[in-house]
Chain A
Amino acid sequence: MATLTIRNARKSFGAVEVLKGVTLAAEDGEFIALVGPSGCGKSTLLNMIAGLERITSGEIYIGDWLVNAVPPKDRDIAMVFQSYALYPTMTVRENITFGMESRRVPKREQDAAVDRVATFLKIEQLLKRKPGQLSGGQRQRVAMGRALVRDPSLFLFDEPLSNLDAKLRIEMRTEIKKLHRQLGRTTVYVTHDQVEAMTLASRIAVMYRGELQQFDKPAQVYSRPANLFVAGFMGSPAMNFLPGTVENRGVRLQDGTLLNKPAPNGASKKVIVGIRPEHIHRASAETLARHPDATRVAAMVEVVEPTGAETIVIMRLGETEITGRFPADMAPEGEESVELAFDINQACIFDPATEQLL
């Protein structure tokens, strides 16, 4: 059981600074997702927490313990790798017991621990096999088993699901969530998949270019993104960004539409309005009744992409392309003019110069 505190962590490889002072803290038992595009420094940060990468400056605490100079094996952590990193010449049992062997845990304790983990993950029948004889999902389980058997105070996951096919990935996602609920261990989970981050984490740390962009609860990150990057990165399809000008009664978009949303204090003349695809509705008596503040906007349909339950529609609004997400029965059929209702209360307004949320 432990908290994790990172203070102003920096990492440079030669002249290249890949982490530019990251500060974040995880409470005991929390599930933190580090998310960001590749090259944002999230894996480096995880490696630094694990002790696999030296920290250039700053501090990392596990509990009250400053671990900057502590080697990985003494940090009381366990890690699951993207490639699973199973030892290819050892059986599943040997893979799981390797760490205990290194630590000279008595044989009887080892057997008990293997039994416990194998039953827990339902891999009892695989113990005598080699990793090469396992399917992707089974390898994933064994990799988790190797981490679980340590019963560490901190779990680290480095994109553990990205090598699995879509269906298995969703299954394992649920299992990781269950696992975390049962064990209640502090967990840091690196992923580039924002859906994984949203579904698993108690708090999400969004990183970009070596800097922490936002660190907050998933719902907050989604509905009140701190800046344009977070707004564009979280959510699929991505948030629509519409440039506009501030007027007395609201924000005027480039095509002339006036959104009756008063610009927040501190807004300069120009702003960017961010609105998520699901907050764009077909204008009908029903939707207008449900969203009385909605602004009616006319747009031209360009592409219709049905995905089953809902349909993604790409439309043109003056110069800008916007994406809407409609229930299948509400979707336009093809290229036609549609009248939309922007649920403007849900929109975010950004400063185009600083890119920050206003």
Chain B
Amino acid sequence: MVDAVFADDPAARAAQRAYFVNRVVIYGLLGVFSLIYLLPLAVVIMNSFRPLPEIAEYGLINIPRQIHFSAWADAWGTYCINGACEGMKRNFMNSLYMTIPATIISTILGALNGYILSKWRFRGSEVLFTCMLLGVFIPGQLALLPWAFLLGQLGLNNSIAGLVLVHVIQGISFTTLFCRNFYVSIPDDLIKAARIDGAGFWRIFRKIVLPISPPILIVTVIWQFTGIWNEFLFGVVLTSGKQQPITAALVALAASETNVRNFDVMSAGVLIGAVPPLLVYFFGGKYFVRGLTQGAVK
């Protein structure tokens, strides 16, 4: 009866009470902050299911009195954006066609770069790495005009392929940084042993380095996917109309020239645009946090 023994001891009881109060305060504060953070999301979700007249009558921030789904259908398939009444589905697909290849290609390139810069160093490789790192700090806006010019020269202006190219190149700095720092922690002896075992550059990469890589590849994929999906500036400047990704379309939707503000459709549109990154986090988030801190503690 260990509990009973402690219950009889006033000091132990006081300590227990202090601990309890502590927990309540901590969780209470955490709860309040997460509420503050989640409230806007809740408002948007609720508004996407409220009919427009109800929003007009009871205000933007209120609980739904009746639920309807027509805003979602409108936003997806029929709402008029920039004069075309096809909803956002085309832009949604544009974003997928842009984000998936750009994520995959930039991740593969980053892994290869990281592998070379950490395990096959050559004269000047550190300088090269430093130069690539600059890309992490240089804001994308700076590259906007050069990109517009370059895509024009390449015949890729106003195309999804052009956006893929832009995002692959803009992303290489980050993916290289992630992978290189991860691969630095792979012992060099492993590579030496493989070289004596007769494996070359590619075989070592495929058979030894890649199988160790999932933690960092997941981090890179999540980072790239959400970054590219949510990117707005390049999308809105380098493409127009039917070629635009969903972020650009959302802004166009909000700016559509109608007299009434369709808060319900806007809410549904925003949520449609937010689903893919949410899904990626949902399935990979656990690895994301783990991967970001990997190598930090050893």
Query: Interface on A for B, CB 8 Å cutoff?
Result: 47, 50, 52, 71-73, 77-79, 81-85, 87-90, 98-99, 102-103, 146
Given known A81-B189, A82-B189, A87-B190, contact A72–B196 (CB-CB < 8 A): yes
Stretch from B4-12, B102-110, B135-143, B204-212 contacting the other chain: B204-212
Q: Quick check: A77 and B207 within 8 Å, CB to CB?
A: no
Q: Quick check: A85 and B190 within 8 Å, CB to CB?
A: yes
Cβ distance B201 to chain A, nearest Cβ, rounded Å: 12
Chain A residues within 8 Å of B3, by CB: none
Query: Interface on B for A, CB 8 Å cutoff?
Result: 187, 189-190, 192-199, 203, 207-208, 211-212
20 contacts between A and B (CB under 8 A): A47-B192, A52-B196, A71-B195, A72-B196, A73-B195, A77-B196, A83-B187, A84-B189, A85-B187, A87-B190, A87-B194, A87-B207, A89-B212, A90-B207, A98-B194, A98-B199, A99-B198, A102-B198, A102-B199, A146-B193
Q: Quick check: B195 and A52 within 8 Å, CB to CB?
A: yes
Q: How far is the CA of A148 from the CA of B23 in the complex (A)?
A: 59
Q: Quick check: B193 and A81 within 8 Å, CB to CB?
A: yes
Q: How far is the CA of A72 from the CA of B197 in the complex (A)?
A: 8
Q: Quick check: A89 and B192 within 8 Å, CB to CB?
A: no
B191 (CB) vs chain A CBs: closest residue: A85
Q: Quick check: B189 and A73 within 8 Å, CB to CB?
A: no
Q: How far is the CA of A254 from the CA of B117 in the complex (A)?
A: 59
Partner among A71, A81, A88, A99 whose Cβ is within 8 Å of the Cβ of B192: A81
Q: Quick check: A73 and B197 within 8 Å, CB to CB?
A: yes
Chain B residues within 8 Å of A88, by CB: 190, 212
B203 (CB) vs chain A CBs: closest residue: A102
Chain B residues within 8 Å of A89, by CB: 208, 211-212
B192 (CB) vs chain A CBs: closest residue: A52
Residue in B194, B196, B208 whose Cβ sees the most chain A Cβ within 10 Å? B196
Cβ distance B80 to chain A, nearest Cβ, rounded Å: 53
Chain A residues within 8 Å of B195, by CB: 52, 71-73
Given known A73-B197, A99-B197, A102-B197, contact A87–B192 (CB-CB < 8 A): no
Cβ distance A99 to chain B, nearest Cβ, rounded Å: 4
Q: How far is the CA of A47 from the CA of B195 in the complex (A)?
A: 12
Q: Quick check: A85 and B207 within 8 Å, CB to CB?
A: no
Q: How far is the CA of A88 from the CA of B194 in the complex (A)?
A: 12
Chain B residues within 8 Å of A50, by CB: 192, 196
Q: How far is the CA of A85 from the CA of B195 in the complex (A)?
A: 12
Chain A to chain B: the 6 pairs with minimum beta-carbon distance, closest first: A99-B197, A102-B198, A89-B211, A85-B189, A73-B198, A85-B193
Cβ distance B37 to chain A, nearest Cβ, rounded Å: 39
Cβ distance B236 to chain A, nearest Cβ, rounded Å: 43
Cβ distance A143 to chain B, nearest Cβ, rounded Å: 8
Q: How far is the CA of A232 from the CA of B190 in the complex (A)?
A: 35
Chain A residues within 8 Å of B212, by CB: 88-89
Chain B residues within 8 Å of A72, by CB: 192, 195-196
Given known A79-B193, A89-B212, contact A98–B187 (CB-CB < 8 A): no
Q: Quick check: A79 and B192 within 8 Å, CB to CB?
A: yes
Chain A residues within 8 Å of B196, by CB: 50, 52, 72-73, 77-79, 99
A73 (CB) vs chain B CBs: closest residue: B198
Chain A residues within 8 Å of B194, by CB: 87, 98
Q: How far is the CA of A78 from the CA of B195 in the complex (A)?
A: 11
Q: How far is the CA of A223 from the CA of B199 in the complex (A)?
A: 45
Chain B residues within 8 Å of A79, by CB: 192-193, 196
Q: How far is the CA of A88 from the CA of B210 in the complex (A)?
A: 11
Cβ distance A139 to chain B, nearest Cβ, rounded Å: 13
Known A50-B196, A79-B192, A99-B198; further 16 A-B contacts with Cβ < 8 A:
A73-B195, A73-B198, A79-B196, A81-B193, A85-B192, A87-B193, A87-B207, A88-B190, A88-B212, A89-B208, A89-B211, A98-B197, A98-B207, A99-B196, A102-B197, A103-B198
Q: How far is the CA of A87 from the CA of B195 in the complex (A)?
A: 12
Cβ distance A39 to chain B, nearest Cβ, rounded Å: 17
B214 (CB) vs chain A CBs: closest residue: A89
